[in-house]
Structure 1
Amino acid sequence: MATGSRNQKHGVGYFDVALWGARIEDSSGGVSHLRLNAYARKNTPERPFAVANDFIASTLGLATGLPVPPGTLVGVYGGGYNYASLAFGDRGDKPPPIIPPKFCEERPWEACGIIAFDQWIHNTDRHDGNIGHLPDVAVAVFDHDLSLLNEAKSGDEALSLLAQSQDLPVKYHCLPSHLKNVSHFGEWFERINSVTRREIRRSVAAAYSAELVSAELRDAIVAFLEHRQTRIGSFVEQTRDQYQNVSSWTFDIEEVDSDS
């Protein structure tokens, strides 16, 4: 939920906050107090793990170098936590949906990164509305509430889902059929594999500390992420039939030794 009224200008999210006159509350020694535009994700009866999904996935996306808007868990009045992330948009306005063929043509590096990352976190809900692209600013990738535990309604259902999907590739994605250049995949496989076990466990442990997941589910999510982390190339290979516009496969899809 964005703060402020529709006619207020809050900047362009995390890429260019000050350019459009974000409000300065106080300034001392070069440090200013700003009011920023942000969005807050909360759990719902239909998606009781939405906050955990979005927080864990977004944190790991940042760790890989993917252009994910920075965010954090925030306590809310009455108890519990939301996931708040800085808004991305021109002068506070949400960017329009991307045009996938145009995006893949102009930003193949980011397109490969988004696909590889979504395979890691088993994100089944990537579409043109949760990728932001402002040509004069940057790219933003957001809304990861349907990754990991997806719409599981209980801890037992979430555990079962993780077990069933740990070796399943994401087969329906908005980008592969429009991608022509897959040469950047190799770099993204390495980036994902470079995220340390400590970083994975730290992000999941934060969700556990906020009582968003149980101890059993915490351990299962960590195992799920570590298992899939070195299999991204295999998942891309298993969905190779979706890359109709790729004429040359130039990346190495050998599995990376998880103990290396």
Structure 2
Amino acid sequence: MASRTTKGIKHGVGYFEVALHGARIDGSSGAVNHIRINAYARKNTPDRPFGVANDYIASTLGVAAGLPVPPGTLFGVYGGGFNYASLAFGDRGDKPPPIIPPKFCEERPWEACGIIAFDQWIHNTDRHDENIGYLPDVAIAAFDHDLSLANETKSEEEAQALLVACQDSPVKFHCLPPHLKDVSHFGEWCDRIGSVTRREIRRVVTTTHSAELVSADLRDTLIMFLEHRQSRISSFIEKTRDQYVSVDSWTLDLKEVESGS
């Protein structure tokens, strides 16, 4: 499905754009090329001082659970500190248009259930039609998770207080539940999210502490928050059942999933 420019150096695969760059280098398994890949970078701002940590933690755990989340990483910036970069989703580098939620839920109910379950886990209150990318017959991407977890709290104390207060709160007014007709996939996604081990959760969150993005106290609160919510996703879905207005018969028998060790 790849396409190239006339110069033969850019490969648009429908998901990410990759450009060959520079000389080949010999590796143990053969020739390797330097490449350039389009990416989006997030930095902290006074209004969102935990945006980088939020996005890195949530997105990395989403990848671990098998969600269609573009992979990313923390990177050091000139002058100190870290930003978060994620691969830019789109057709040959172009950002896809906003999704049409009814069409998306009709055509991709499995992914829709996954995104809803994931947002319940990370307490993402900012899912909307412009942070779900959808290229029919090619790929899906859920991105922009800076308003999950600690959200836009301004201090460590506020962030810890929010996490404690919201640990048992379901996410309401999500953009997808009103349009979802097939809820049969929630059980699988609860299992997938529950399979992410505590060791992986702690590794990811501890990375943000090592990068001095969060304090030791906030690190510990984030770990507690994620481990606590991980096994309660089904109850959050049940508590928001009234939002699934397009479901004719609610036949789910969701059980709490024991989180990974």
Give the corresponding residue for 1:110. Answer: 111
SS at match of 1:168: coil
User: CA 1:84/1:259 → structure 2, altered by over 3 Å: closer, same or farther?
Assistant: closer
CA contact (8 A) 1:14 1:70 kept: no
Cα RMSD for the two superposed structures: 1.7
Give the corresponding residue for 2:5. Answer: none
Q: Superposed, which structure 2 residues align to 1:158-197 within 5 Å?
A: 158-197=159-198
SS at match of 1:35: strand
Deviations along 1:175-210, one digit per CA (max 9) or x if unpaired, are 000000000000000000000000000000000000
* Structure 2 residue identity aligned to 1:179: L
Q: Which moved more, 1:187-196 or 1:244-253?
A: 244-253
- Quote the Cα distance in structure 2 between the aligned partners of 1:172 and 1:209: 35
SS at match of 1:73: strand
Is 2:26 aligned against 1:25? no
CA contact (8 A) 2:163 2:222 kept: yes
How many residue pairs align between the two structures? 249
CA contact (8 A) 1:36 1:86 kept: yes
User: CA 1:13/1:226 → structure 2, altered by over 3 Å: closer, same or farther?
Assistant: farther
CA contact (8 A) 1:10 1:92 kept: no
User: CA 1:214/1:13 → structure 2, altered by over 3 Å: closer, same or farther?
Assistant: farther
Identity across aligned pairs (percent)? Answer: 72
Of Structure 1 and Structure 2, the greater strand share is in: 2
- Quote the Cα distance in structure 2 between the aligned partners of 1:60 and 1:191: 11
CA contact (8 A) 1:15 1:137 kept: yes
Instruction: Give the C-alpha shift of residue 31 in structure 1.
Output: 1.6
Give the corresponding residue for 1:72. Answer: 73
Q: Superposed, which structure 2 residues align to 1:68-217 within 5 Å?
A: 68-217=69-218
User: CA 1:142/1:66 → structure 2, altered by over 3 Å: closer, same or farther?
Assistant: same
- Quote the Cα distance in structure 2 between the aligned partners of 1:143 and 1:13: 22
Alignment gaps of 5+ in structure 2: 1-8
SS at match of 2:37: coil
- Quote the Cα distance in structure 2 between the aligned partners of 1:252 and 1:75: 46
Q: TM-score, normalised by structure 2?
A: 0.91
Instruction: Give the C-alpha shift of residue 258 in structure 1.
Output: 4.6
CA contact (8 A) 2:52 2:84 kept: yes
CA contact (8 A) 1:50 1:145 kept: yes
Give the corresponding residue for 2:237. Answer: 236
Instruction: Give the C-alpha shift of residue 247 in structure 1.
Output: 1.4
Instruction: Give the C-alpha shift of residue 91 in structure 1.
Output: 1.4
Give the corresponding residue for 2:4. Answer: none
- Quote the Cα distance in structure 2 between the aligned partners of 1:59 and 1:221: 14
Give the corresponding residue for 1:255. Answer: 256
User: CA 1:182/1:131 → structure 2, altered by over 3 Å: closer, same or farther?
Assistant: same
